């Protein structure tokens, strides 16, 4: 299985993972043979990528860090929570807490967790998918920092609700395709204070959740907002959520900006350690990131094209690959797999969208 751009999907390909709407309805079941009408519908819905099963990706197993059912349920729960607040109702924290507890249980059962987020974000699902991903990433970082279960629950709930204040930001600003004006960006920045005010009203939440909503855009160097806090003045929970938030945002396609590759995102986090982020948290965070996830198509330094088959946890830059095309553009008669930890001359020079 592999993830490909919808623009690259061809009739006859087999859908690898079930697609859901933001309301939780099944759009298309895994195993369906794709038709041109389905592909057109993907584009109408703003779905940029899908998972497919094909000859190129045969035998490649994509493992998410949480189950599809848990991810799906969490996305629905955060959507329901934000809709409830939007319409003036009180926040029901229990579904959010239940989802966080399920994630913790699943993550604690996995040794040497390597993050390979398998979530697909369409335009209408972005906020909810992003909230779930930030929660997962924050929990994994907390686990690596030896947090006990109570601390994990607190940071998980806060991470799930960190962007709740965006329900008060006009959609035309949040989804603006171009750059924001200073006035528009000042409006967007208010989501932190809005989130704080909304969450502190709930008697079912600790102060951590509202504090995370308020301070997840503070910077370690004091240049963030809304309070201009510096270093350890920012609670550790918010410092973790800040890293998770930025990582998921920059590795996701948005209307106004194309995502960057995971390896570039990791380089960015490292480069901003001690400035935008707490470097100790960045170090713990990136230890669990799969730089070249299975199913990723790559260009090698010798001009060959390949697909990542598996990862080497101790050497994330040196995965196991399958050669798909030589430098002359010819497809090998027999598949050739290479463990890059055992070949010092081959390097991955770039990530490519498709073969």
CB–CB of 9/42 below 8 Å?
yes
Nearest CA among 48, 115, 71 for reference residue 262: 115
- What is the C-alpha separation between 97 and 74, in angstroms, rounded? 10
Q: How many residues does the chain have?
A: 355
The tokens of 289 are what? 């990131």
244, with CB counted inside 10 A (0-12, 13-18, 19+), is: buried
- What is the C-alpha separation between 238 and 162, in angstroms, rounded? 9
Packing angle between helix 149-160 and helix 207-215, nearest 10 degrees? 50
161, with CB counted inside 10 A (0-12, 13-18, 19+), is: buried
Alpha helical stretches, state H, 200-312: 207-215, 236-250, 262-271, 279-286
The tokens of 129 are what? 């998918």
Alpha helical stretches, state H, 87-125: 93-108
In sequence order, what are the beta bridge partners of 51? 3
The tokens of 124 are what? 């209408």
79 HSE (CA, 13 A, CB side): 16
pLDDT at position 4, please?
86
What number of other Cβ atoms are within 10 A of residue 102's Cβ?
A: 17
C-alpha to C-alpha distances, 64 to 68, 120, 268, 306, nearest whole angstrom: 8, 12, 24, 22
What does each of the 355 residues of the chain score in pLDDT, given as a tens digit?
Answer: 888 889 989 999 999 988 877 666 788 999 999 999 999 988 888 788 888 988 888 788 888 889 888 998 999 999 999 999 999 898 999 999 999 999 999 999 876 667 766 555 655 577 898 999 999 999 999 999 999 999 999 999 999 999 999 999 999 999 898 889 999 999 999 999 999 999 999 989 999 999 999 999 999 999 999 999 999 999 999 999 999 999 999 998 777 788 898 999 999 999 999 999 999 999 999 988 889 989 999 999 999 999 999 998 888 889 999 999 998 889 888 889 999 999 989 999 999 876 7
Q: Which residue has the tokens 């909304």?
A: 198
The tokens of 6 are what? 């919808």
Rg of the chain (C-alpha set): 21
| Structural domains in the chain plus CATH codes | 2-53 (3.90.105.10), 68-286 (1.10.3210.10), 297-352 (no CATH)
- What is the C-alpha separation between 189 and 186, in angstroms, rounded? 5
Is the whole model's pTM more than 0.85, yes or no? yes
- What is the C-alpha separation between 268 and 222, in angstroms, rounded? 18
């Amino acid at each position: 299985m592999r993830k490909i751009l919808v623009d690259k999907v061809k009739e006859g390909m087999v859908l690898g993972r079930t697609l859901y709407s933001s309301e939780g309805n099944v759009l298309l079941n895994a195993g369906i043979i794709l038709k041109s009408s389905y592909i057109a519908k993907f584009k109408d819905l703003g779905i940029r990528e899908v998972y497919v099963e094909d000859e190129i990706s045969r035998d490649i197993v994509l493992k998410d860090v949480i189950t599809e059912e848990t991810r799906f349920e969490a996305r629905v729960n955060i959507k329901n929570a934000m809709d409830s607040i939007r319409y003036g109702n009180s926040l029901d924290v229990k579904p959010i807490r239940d989802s966080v507890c399920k994630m913790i249980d699943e993550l604690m059962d996995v040794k040497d967790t390597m993050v390979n987020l398998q979530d697909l974000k369409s335009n209408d699902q972005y906020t909810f998918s992003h909230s779930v991903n930030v929660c997962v990433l924050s929990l994994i970082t907390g686990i690596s920092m030896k947090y006990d279960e109570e601390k994990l629950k607190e940071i998980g709930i806060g991470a799930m609700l960190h962007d709740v204040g965006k329900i008060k930001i006009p959609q035309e600003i949040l989804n603006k395709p171009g750059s924001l004006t200073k006035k528009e960006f000042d409006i967007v920045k208010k989501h932190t204070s809005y989130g704080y005010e909304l969450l502190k009203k709930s008697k079912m939440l600790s102060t951590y959740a509202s504090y995370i909503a308020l301070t997840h855009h503070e910077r370690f160097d004091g240049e963030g907002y809304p309070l201009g806090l510096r270093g350890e003045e920012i609670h550790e929970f918010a410092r973790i959520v800040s890293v998770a938030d930025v990582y998921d945002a920059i590795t996701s396609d948005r209307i106004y900006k194309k995502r960057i590759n995971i390896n570039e995102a990791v380089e960015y986090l490292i480069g901003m350690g001690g400035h935008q982020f707490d470097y100790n948290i960045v170090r713990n965070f990136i230890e669990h990131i799969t730089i070249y996830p299975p199913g990723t198509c790559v260009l090698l330094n010798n001009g060959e094209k390949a697909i990542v088959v598996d990862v080497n946890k101790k050497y994330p830059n040196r995965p196991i690959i399958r050669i798909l095309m030589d430098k002359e553009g010819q497809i090998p008669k027999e598949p050739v797999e290479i463990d890059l930890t055992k070949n010092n001359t081959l390097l991955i020079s770039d990530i490519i969208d498709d073969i």
